[in-house]
Structure 1
Amino acid sequence: MSSEIESIASSVTESDSSELLDFVSDLIQSPADADYDLISRKLKRQYQLNPPKQQIYRVYNAHFSDVTIGPKLKKWMIKSQVRSNSGVLVVTIVLAPNKFSCKYDCAYCPQETDLSGAPTQPRSYLSNEPAMLRALESEFDIKGQFNNRIRSYKRTGNIAADNSSKIEVIFSGGTWESYPLEYREQVIRELYWAANTVSAERPSNTLEAEITENETATLRIIGFTLETRPDNITEETIIQYRKWGITRIQIGVQHYDDTILKKMNRKCYTKDTVRAIRLLKQAGLKVVVHLMPDLPGSSPEQDRWMFDQAIQRPELQFDDVKIYPTAVVKTFDDKHIVKSKILDMYNAGEFTPYSEKNVRDLIDVCIYYKTRLNPWVRIQRLIRDIPKTDIAAGYGGMSNLRQLIHQQMKKEGLRCNCIRCMEIGDQEHDVLEPILVVRKYEASEGTEYHISVEAHKMNMWQTGLYWLILVMNWLSFVFLGKHEYWSGNLDTYIGLYGFLRLRFDPAPGGNFISEINECALVREVHVYGTSIGVGAASAGSQHRGFGKLLMKTAETIAAENGWKKVAVIAGVGTREYYKNKCGYRLDGTYMVKDL
């Protein structure tokens, strides 16, 4: 357990001194617009104390909860606020290691076992990765992992005791469909049960009953992600996903060069990826792909080509991406054995990552993509969180590669327009008027609208051009009866308050999800800013009506293009919002509204 967690635990159990109580009392009586860092330093000198923020927050809740404090001070107390700046709190659950975790044998994928050969982690994961350490602590128990993470969020102030919170769950480990169906349904049920019983224990109910309860629970599952392979995406598996409340699917694409994939024994190719993305979007699901530069057989030029395919080809348009530069991992202690075909290739002198020869080549490849990607894409991760001690070869063992990439971009005056880099977080752009932007693009045989609320910083000429476009759009509506929208300007774009993904599919739902036939599909709605509880008051972007604006705009665009209904692939915990705030009804597993 980390020293930080130990310090949290000690601060929770120790008795509170009168000096500490006076410290917190003085702090919360400070002016609402005060510099709390400065005040905290003065109080630390005055009382000869150095309490961490999580301890201050705990003492406030324990002894002064009847005293109302402003949002600025509450934000200051929340130590790990960055985790909630994206509007939701993420809980990663690791599935149990066993022989079923993945039935495939891709060359780059490690398998960790104990000395007897029994798997100690699901395929591709190592036991000293941070998320795996938490899973080991709970012995891979679903409820134990969930409760552990929620306790951590409460300690750091990301979850308040008196408000509902929005949780996004990610199931990691192996390949989802490789686990027996009985186990898959069991862990899904245990997840909802864990979320529903954080405050009060009770025996578990049926999966259907737990899902229904979570619609109004204190901890609501508003997003649910699974990991699998493109060739495992079928109409049958998608029906299962929706039954379980799944809203996002991660697929391991790795590369678009089938020659490289064949060399890696992938047995899953670009045609499978094209088909998988098409099926997932047809059902309204969000799509995350994994890409791996620096694989055997690749080169900096070939990896730039891979990223060009991701940017340019309509049939390969995804929503989010995780970029995992190839790492050859090895055994890291005397209790485990780590094996992979790529490690054998490296030890035999048959493969050396090009980043080992010159890490700048890999940095330049990543910068190439980050400076060219489409603004409707979010880079979820840029490098996997593998300890340096585990890496035999790959990016020079530089576990801070993402930081080096950003430093180089800053040095060259470059920036990335991906959603993660532009999301408003805890920045202060309120002095700039939020602007509605609609970007239209073709994807997987359909048409997508990326509707966003953005902050733009314009000079006089850019402002004049913007208003001219607005006037022309207004005239278009007056004379043609159809709204036109500004498509944005990346040169003036400085922040993202929220966005919505609207899809016009030629056959929504296909012939396997009848409730969304003839519906325009809202695949994602996300408003940024620190995660706040359902019903909590805040001046942040989450409670400025941006969500309703995005939904109203999507409905208007759909109606003007001849659609009679809109369907939202809503997470279980968001169904009440769409029903009560937007006038939708539950039809099957989707929220549907007649236009």
Structure 2
Amino acid sequence: MPAEPDILREALTRALAALVTELRTRAEGPMDDQWIVRFCREQNRGVSDVSAHVKKRALLPAYWDLKRSRPDLWRSWNVDDELEARLVSVLQAKPRRTASGVATVTVIAKPWPCSGSCRFCPSDLRMPKSYLADEPACQRAEQCLFDPYLQVSSRIRVLAQLGHPVDKVELIVLGGTWTDYPEAYRRWFAAELFRALNDGLGDAATLGRRNRRRQYEQAGFTLWQEEREWTAPSDPQLRTELQARVNAGELTYNEAFPQLYGPATPWAEVSRWQRCSSNALRAVQTMNETAPCRCVGLSFETRPDCVDPETLWSLRELGCTKVQIGVQSTDVSRLDGLSRGIAGETIDDAFALLRLFGFKIQAHQMANLPGATPATDLDDYRRLVSDPRFEPDEVKLYPCSLIEGTGLVENYREGRWRPYETEELVGLLVNELAATPRFVRVSRMVRDFSAKDIVAGNRQANLRQDVERRLRDRDLPVQEIRFREVALAPEGPSDLRLRTLRYFTTVSEERFLEWVAEDGTLHGFLRLSLPVLPAVATEPVLPAVARPSSTPARADAAMIREVHVYGRAARLDQEGQWSQHRGLGRELVEEACRQARAAGRVSVAVISAVGTRGYYRALGFEDDGLYQRRFLD
């Protein structure tokens, strides 16, 4: 028999009281996950009923419940602010999630036809093209009917319950090629992201979720009472039959799409109100500048052939600061055999335009494509991160996996493609990470595909840990950002020094300013771009009214493309325990302005996120259309 709720509740209360006493008397010594596990084990000693055992994941919700429902008891413990902060820090679940300084929330757009037909791309009809239903973010999105408000609101609530600050949120929007979606839907999607952050964690968010769910019910969607998940009232057998035909090559994703999401479905009904005006979008953005949860970064993904000035202006109007671009390979001959349909100069032009608009560039690179070898993949990667035509700021490494229903299955069955053995793949990734410049961050090394979805290819979910362990075992020097970032280390910024790395692209001189400690750990950085002639336009910098055919860059101005301070996230207007909120970002900006002035630039622009506009105004920047800028004395 499971323990009575009151029995478990009292056990958790006793454990919290013991933990507060331990924290009050313990001045030194590590209190990491292993310590808290031992603490819980001690609390459970002598308790035969396993269901009444204290577990770490239950302690933080018990703390929130205690403060809310038993305030007299909580006050009797005499817990001051400093002690309470230590308590929450110890109980925080999965602290790595905010170790980069912000809370990251991934949001998935709804299923939609794709303009591409890449042979390696999955075609799961439950998802937007290239995504699979068992990926964690996709599971959460489907439960929310891919609604951006529900996804963001639910996710920040969960993160807050786990003890993470959510007042600084980076939003990552995935779902295939963003520009394939209708313009009105794109505006609505972005506006709902901001509205969810504006409503935050209070009653407004609860009411907002309730009203949105009522809208879906009225459109014909139903709720699974057992699992508390939303689903469309479609015929499961029809979906299974269509997916089987797609997997067999009898139908494409785009051909099957209308039968599940077309005019006769609830999806068509809700699409009538999934639209938004530009004025309404700007209104929620303005509110977010002072909201309880502020957007400090917003990214969308697209293809190189969809990048043009008009598209990039529209992304800036949405508040976008980073673009994920599906390069896959810089060897165009390799892409030609995969129905990619992208010319080499198209990739070059996309990188140049993204940089001139000030966007942070995250490139997707796919190893193990047909015709590749570990040696050619390494050459391809080195070209991506060092050739002046490319040099992205971030990279996602996606080793090719064989998924049922892709065109690559034919290559596999005919013996024209094979997945790398584990040792081959790990060896390649070790060499790629070692070859990564210090201004590049490798954000991912593997897709979150479920092992059961992979017909052939890597199934190792913790591939990165294996790669980094081998790098350390071989004592290879690694300059890549994520490998160096301070993350959860306890070092303070007292021993930091500021240094600058210069490198050149086809359209700019780039300067990577970084705060590093004596042991090499990275505490913060800034990306400063100095556009060069003849790549830049001669018209006034940052026009208040966007010109679709122009870029915002000019030769007498510099552009700050990113400022990031690492360390466990600190709340707004509070001093952090590590690097955050100690003036490191301000000093980076001031140094960037000094260097821009010395380089002959008369102003510095910044591609600020909506939620960081106030921060840059305090540093002397003025609003200028879709950017902010500061004139140099």
Pairwise TM-score range, normalised by the shorter structure: 0.7 to 0.9
Residue 34 of structure 1: how far off its partner (Å)? 5.0
* Distance in 2 (alpha carbons) for counterparts of 1:292 and 1:525: 28
Q: Does the CA contact (< 8 Å) of 1:32 and 1:72 recur in 2? A: no
TM-score by length of 2: 0.78
Residue 35 of structure 1: how far off its partner (Å)? 4.2
1:237-286 Cα distance to aligned partner (Å, 9 max, x none): 01101111100000000001111010011011331111011101101111
**Which residue in 1 is equivalent to 2:469?**
407
The answer to whether residue 554 in structure 2 is matched with residue 525 in structure 1 is no
Q: Does the CA contact (< 8 Å) of 2:434 and 2:476 recur in 1? A: yes
Q: Does the CA contact (< 8 Å) of 2:358 and 2:559 recur in 1? A: yes
State which drifts further: 520-529 or 408-417: 408-417
The answer to whether residue 409 in structure 2 is matched with residue 343 in structure 1 is yes
The SS at the match of 1:224 is strand
Match of 1:78 among 75, 92, 102: 92
* Distance in 1 (alpha carbons) for counterparts of 2:584 and 2:424: 41
**Which residue in 2 is equivalent to 1:321?**
395
* Distance in 2 (alpha carbons) for counterparts of 1:60 and 1:401: 35
Match of 2:118 among 106, 121, 132: 106
For 1:258-337, what aligned pairs fall within 5 Å after superposition?
258-330=332-404
**Which residue in 2 is equivalent to 1:562?**
600
Residue 393 of structure 1: how far off its partner (Å)? 1.2
The answer to whether residue 310 in structure 2 is matched with residue 231 in structure 1 is no
Match of 2:612 among 553, 574, 593: 574
Q: Does the CA contact (< 8 Å) of 2:15 and 2:43 recur in 1? A: no
Count the aligned residue pairs: 526
1:361-398 Cα distance to aligned partner (Å, 9 max, x none): 22222222111211000000011111111111123x33
**Which residue in 2 is equivalent to 1:69?**
82
Residue 305 of structure 1: how far off its partner (Å)? 1.4
For 1:29-178, what aligned pairs fall within 5 Å after superposition?
29-36=24-31, 38=35, 41=38, 45=42, 48=45, 50-61=53-64, 62-63=66-67, 64=74, 67-70=80-83, 71-98=85-112, 100=113, 102-112=114-124, 119-159=125-165, 165-178=167-180
The verdict on how the C-alpha distance between 1:323 and 1:46 changes in structure 2, with shifts beyond 3 A counting, is closer
Match of 1:498 among 520, 524, 532: 524
**Which residue in 1 is equivalent to 2:505?**
443
Residue 525 of structure 1: how far off its partner (Å)? 0.2
Q: Does the CA contact (< 8 Å) of 1:230 and 1:272 recur in 2? A: yes
Match of 2:455 among 387, 392, 395: 392
Letter in 1 for 2:199: T
Letter in 2 for 1:22: A
State which drifts further: 446-455 or 33-42: 33-42
**Which residue in 2 is equivalent to 1:585?**
622
**Which residue in 2 is equivalent to 1:465?**
none
1:113-132 Cα distance to aligned partner (Å, 9 max, x none): xxxxxx21110111011111
Task: State the superposition RMSD in angstroms.
Answer: 2.6
The SS at the match of 1:260 is helix
Q: Does the CA contact (< 8 Å) of 2:542 and 2:627 recur in 1? A: no
The answer to whether residue 439 in structure 2 is matched with residue 376 in structure 1 is yes
The SS at the match of 1:542 is coil
**Which residue in 2 is equivalent to 1:243?**
317
**Which residue in 1 is equivalent to 2:327?**
253
1:570-595 Cα distance to aligned partner (Å, 9 max, x none): 10000111112x11111112121111
Residue 513 of structure 1: how far off its partner (Å)? 4.6
* Distance in 2 (alpha carbons) for counterparts of 1:593 and 1:152: 38
TM-score by length of 1: 0.83
State which drifts further: 401-410 or 35-44: 35-44
Q: Does the CA contact (< 8 Å) of 1:527 and 1:541 recur in 2? A: yes
Q: Does the CA contact (< 8 Å) of 2:40 and 2:55 recur in 1? A: no
The verdict on how the C-alpha distance between 1:340 and 1:532 changes in structure 2, with shifts beyond 3 A counting, is same
Residue 536 of structure 1: how far off its partner (Å)? 1.6
Residue 167 of structure 1: how far off its partner (Å)? 0.4
* Structure 1, unpaired ranges of 5+: 1-6, 113-118, 331-338, 458-493
Residue 156 of structure 1: how far off its partner (Å)? 1.0
* Distance in 1 (alpha carbons) for counterparts of 2:467 and 2:577: 34
Q: Does the CA contact (< 8 Å) of 1:318 and 1:377 recur in 2? A: yes
Letter in 2 for 1:503: S
* Distance in 1 (alpha carbons) for counterparts of 2:161 and 2:374: 44
Residue 25 of structure 1: how far off its partner (Å)? 3.9
The verdict on how the C-alpha distance between 1:576 and 1:269 changes in structure 2, with shifts beyond 3 A counting, is same
Letter in 2 for 1:577: Y
**Which residue in 2 is equivalent to 1:541?**
579
**Which residue in 2 is equivalent to 1:360?**
423
* Distance in 2 (alpha carbons) for counterparts of 1:12 and 1:417: 53
For 1:460-479, what aligned pairs fall within 5 Å after superposition?
none
**Which residue in 1 is equivalent to 2:14?**
19
Letter in 1 for 2:106: T
The verdict on how the C-alpha distance between 1:133 and 1:14 changes in structure 2, with shifts beyond 3 A counting, is farther
1:39-86 Cα distance to aligned partner (Å, 9 max, x none): 874575257475333433333344348632345543222121111110
Residue 351 of structure 1: how far off its partner (Å)? 2.0
The verdict on how the C-alpha distance between 1:374 and 1:36 changes in structure 2, with shifts beyond 3 A counting, is closer
Percent of pairs identical after alignment? 31
1:191-250 Cα distance to aligned partner (Å, 9 max, x none): 111111132246999111100000110110010000000110111001101111100000
* Distance in 2 (alpha carbons) for counterparts of 1:385 and 1:316: 26
**Which residue in 2 is equivalent to 1:463?**
none
Residue 20 of structure 1: how far off its partner (Å)? 3.9
* Distance in 1 (alpha carbons) for counterparts of 2:443 and 2:30: 32
* Distance in 1 (alpha carbons) for counterparts of 2:5 and 2:479: 40
The verdict on how the C-alpha distance between 1:197 and 1:14 changes in structure 2, with shifts beyond 3 A counting, is farther
The SS at the match of 2:184 is helix
Letter in 1 for 2:148: I
* Distance in 1 (alpha carbons) for counterparts of 2:175 and 2:350: 20
The verdict on how the C-alpha distance between 1:195 and 1:316 changes in structure 2, with shifts beyond 3 A counting, is same
The answer to whether residue 543 in structure 2 is matched with residue 514 in structure 1 is yes
